[in-house]
Structure 1
Amino acid sequence: MRTLSPPLTLVITTDAVGGVWRYALDLAGTLKGRALAVADDAPQVVEPLLIGLGPRPSEAQRDEAYEAGVALDWIDRPLDWQVEGPEALSESGRALAAAVTAAGADLVQVNNPPLLPFLPAQLPRIAAAHSCLSTWWQAVRGETPPLNLAWHGAATARGLAAADAVISPSHAFAAAMTEIYGPVPDLAVVPNAAVPVMAGRKRPVALAAARWWDPAKNLAVLDAAAEGALWPVEIAGPLEGPGSWGSGGAGSGGAGSGGAGPRPVHVTHLGSLPHRALRARMAEAAIFVSLALYEPFGLSVLEAAGAGAALVLSDIPTHRELWDDCACFVDPHDPHAVRDALDGLVRDPAALGRMGLLATTRAATFSHARQADAMLAVYARVLARHTADRGDAVP
């Protein structure tokens, strides 16, 4: 019978302004205490540490980390998509490297690939890509980023190339990355996960949740579609971002100007809700809508689907991959088509219930246990290679 080795310190980078926070915190909480075995070595218990950059987490977010039993450290340096050039990026990278070294990390999962090359090369380094400037710009603007932002695409390419493995949350996003950056080393698709939301009594309302300052979230079309819709449309999330490139850049789990987004007229803005309050809204919403033009995964869609909401989604590759046959797909540029889809579900209660059930069934396949198993397999593979490389280096 093998005995356990000392704990394995797994550093996972995060931010507090987007979906990466939810992803990193839930993943760390699920992995905490899991055993990771590499080859014939004794298993090690995973001890995660979240290290964040950018705007500091709210009190509610810190409470979430505490309740999950996940250690949290913060660096007062901007995120890669908040800086204006390579020099500022390197300052954030060096600060992250110092924090990772001080933590005694055995393995690092970097959710901001441009920062990965600054970490010690002897450490096993995994890049989890949740978005990037170049793929955002192609999907939202239909073109490559302007020359003044080319440095960020180059930094992302270096981060992906330097990684021991790269994680994508969907095949669609993996294809988008390889189209721009070419073959990516040890690329694994590991879908995101969510704790199922306990469905409540459904209200006659359509709900949407996003960082609305990001043009990719397509608020203008949703607002236009809400005019004259049979049911009210409620939106949760900030209208103003934390600040990034004025011309639009890749954000955390998305992209955008980082300034003020369009002011909605026909939807009801609920503001920025704590996660628990947002889940309560999802439990009651009969319909959930996402008209995103760019979505590497779409965690809010998954959470709403788990609560039994019927889905009205933009017809983009990621949504098709994850929700085909269990959502109503619409042209995200056509507010009339969106309104027709919403009203069609309202007029057909049987279809509304059927689509909600299909969404719930599909959502159940995206479990934290399955995600953790897949991530542990990637970690073990990377650690085994590093162990073998160290052995080969011994004279």
Structure 2
Amino acid sequence: MTRLLMTADVVGGVWQYALELAAALRPLGVEAHLAVLGPALSTAQRGRAGALGIGVTETGLSLDWLARDAGEVRRTADALARLAALHGADVVQVNQPAFALADYAMPVVAVAHSCVASWWDAVEHGPLPVDLAWQAALTGDALARADVAVCPSAALADTLARLYALPRRPRVVHNGRTAVASAGALAGTVFTAGRLWDRGKDVATLDRAAAQVALPFEAAGPLVGPNGEQVACVHLHTLGMLSDGDVAGRLAARPIFVSAARYEPFGLAVLEAASAGCALVLSDISTFRELWDGAARFVGVGDDAGFALAIEALAADPVGRHEAGERARVRASRYTPAANARGMAAIYAEACAPQKRAAA
């Protein structure tokens, strides 16, 4: 049995990613232990990990993008290296690449789910401000240093290779999610979910679109981020943070699912909605085209009127909406935890191979 130490956090989708990956790795001979960074787990999250038989250590260490300086990031990386040694890990997966910057006694796989440089490139454009540039420098160094660097989409891999001038393009292993069982009927609602406070999600566009559609438009997720960033919505019916079960319950009713993201390295919420058979209306960005071309309606970034028209067209055509949802469901079947686990297990084996370590 290969022993894996994997980092996780509860700020975005990494927690669900880590849980599902850890569970799917066990039949492949990989036993994962999760090292949680940033905010503490909720009682429900601890219970979910326990029910799956997944070991968890809540480290109390800071997330890289909330760190005050490079020294804090490196100290966290050092602490993770000690934790990996304490657990007798054969391989480490850091889901925050900067934490690869330590002297680990075992191979390190750095999975980039997002980063400040690629977020800025998509959302703000232009050169990074000084207070973010040091974070990007650490991420670039870490991706180059890791035994293997991985991205959840080719779109992100290409972007990181360009932004950081990496010597090797990161490998691509698509994320996976357990499918949501749908109720069959089509709900008379529109739904979105995610970190609503994150400007990369562009909830402002959806708020404007909500004023132009007849169907109720619900939005699940936090309005205030741990960095203090927040968003105010006038027309969206904001639901706040929902449990995973509550989100799945809403998706099971097959609302029209919408994402106007300007920046999305993968989009687990979209995958979850698609697996339930929800018709998808998505922003026309490279990640969504890679994953959902032919299985979603695409609208230009920031085009609130375009989103409203696409939503109304689906609402007015139940047969077409059902067919769109089935196309999304079929496409979602490609992106499963089992497929994700097979890809990652192969990378762990490659990273642990004697010739790989000797070359590094």
**TM-score, normalising length: structure 1:** 0.88
Contact 2:34 2:55 in 1 (8 A): yes
**Letter paired with 1:30:** A
Cα deviation code 1:327-363 (max 9, x no counterpart):
0100121111110110011111221111101000000
Say whether 1:299 aligns with 2:268. yes
Q: Which amino acid aligns with 1:25?
A: L
Give how far 1:119 is off: 4.1
Match of residue 240, structure 1, among 224, 229, 250: 224
Instruction: Answer yes or no: is 1:48 the counterpart of 2:32.
Output: yes
Corresponding residue for 1:74? 58
> Quick check: 1:327 aligned with 2:296?
yes
Shift of 1:33: 3.9
* Letter matched to residue 74 of structure 1: E
Instruction: Give secondary structure in 1 for the equivalent of 2:131.
Output: helix
1:160, 1:185 within 8 Å by CA — same for their partners in 2? no
SS of aligned partner of 2:214: coil
Instruction: Tell me, in whole angstroms, the C-alpha distance in 1 between the residues paired with 2:174 and 2:167.
Output: 17
- Give the aligned partner of residue 99 of structure 2: 115
**Match in the other structure for 1:31:** 25
SS at match of 1:150: helix
Taking the aligned partners of 2:302 and 2:212, their CA distance within structure 1 comes to 17
Residue correspondences, number: 359
Aligned to 2:258: 289
Do residues 139 (structure 1) and 122 (structure 2) align? yes
Partner of 1:218: 202
Query: How far apart in 2 are the matches of 1:387 and 1:316?
Result: 35
Post-superposition offset of 1:286: 2.4
Distance in 2 (alpha carbons) for counterparts of 1:59 and 1:184: 43
3-state secondary structure, aligned to 2:245: helix
CA contact (8 A) 1:206 1:285 kept: no
Identify the range of structure 1 (309-318 vs 219-228) with the bigger mean alpha-carbon deviation: 219-228
Alignment correspondent of 2:179: 196
Is residue 166–residue 184 contact of structure 1 (8 Å, CA) maintained in 2?
no
The residue matched to 2:298 in structure 1 has which SS? strand
Structure 1 residues 388 and 109: alpha-carbon distance in aligned structure 2, compared to 1, 3 A threshold:
closer
Q: Secondary structure at the match of 1:270?
A: strand
Structure 2 residue ranges without an equivalent (≥5): none
Q: Report if aligned partners of 2:187, 2:255 keep a CA contact under 8 Å in 1.
A: yes
Cα separation, 2, equivalents of 1:126 and 1:340: 43
Cα distance in 1, alignment partners of residues 108 and 102 from structure 2? 11
Q: 1:277 to 1:184 in 2, by over 3 A?
A: farther
Q: What is the rounded CA distance, in whole Å, between the counterparts of 1:326 and 1:82 in structure 2?
A: 36
Q: Is 1:167 the counterpart of 2:150 in the alignment?
A: yes
Could you tell me which of 332, 340, 351 is aligned with 2:320?
A: 351
1:346–1:100 Cα change, 3 Å: same
On the 8 A contact 1:133/1:153 being kept in 2, the answer is: yes
1:178: Cα distance to partner? 0.6
Change (3 A) 1:184 1:129: farther
User: Cα–Cα, structure 1 residues 332 and 375, in superposed 2: closer, same or farther, change >3 Å?
Assistant: same
Matched, 1:365 2:334: yes
- 8 Å contact 1:56–1:74 — kept in the other structure? yes
Contact 1:113 1:160 in 2 (8 A): yes
Deviation of residue 64 (structure 1)? 1.2
Matched residue SS, 1:320: helix
Asked if the contact 1:96–1:119 (Cα under 8 Å) also holds between the matched residues in 2, the reply is: no
Counterparts of 1:353 and 1:360, CA distance in 2: 10
Mapped partners of 2:242, 2:39: distance in 1:
17
TM-score, normalising length from structure 2?
A: 0.96
* 2:181–2:276 CA contact under 8 A, matched in 1: yes
Dislocated runs of 4+, deviation >2 Å: 183-187, 385-389
Q: Between the two proteins, what is the percent identity of the paired residues?
A: 41
Q: What amino acid is the match of 1:146?
A: P
Structure 1 counterpart of 2:117, one-letter code: S
CA distance in 2, matches of 1:360, 1:119: 43
Say whether residues 1:375 and 2:358 are aligned partners.
no
SS at match of 2:353: helix
Return the offset for 1:370. 1.5
Once the 2 structures are TM-superposed, how far is the Cα of residue 144 of structure 1 from its aligned partner? 2.5
When Rg is computed on C-alpha atoms for both structures, the one with the higher figure is: 1
Deviation at 1:280, TM superposition (A): 0.8
The amino acid of 1:70's aligned partner reads I
* Aligned-residue CA RMSD (Å): 1.6
Instruction: Give the distance between the partners of 1:339 and 1:376, measured in 2 at CA.
Output: 42
| Native 8 Å contact 2:74 2:101 kept in 1 | no
Q: Report the Cα distance in structure 1 between the residues aligned to 2:181 and 2:234, rounded to whole angstroms.
A: 31
Letter in 2 for 1:100: A
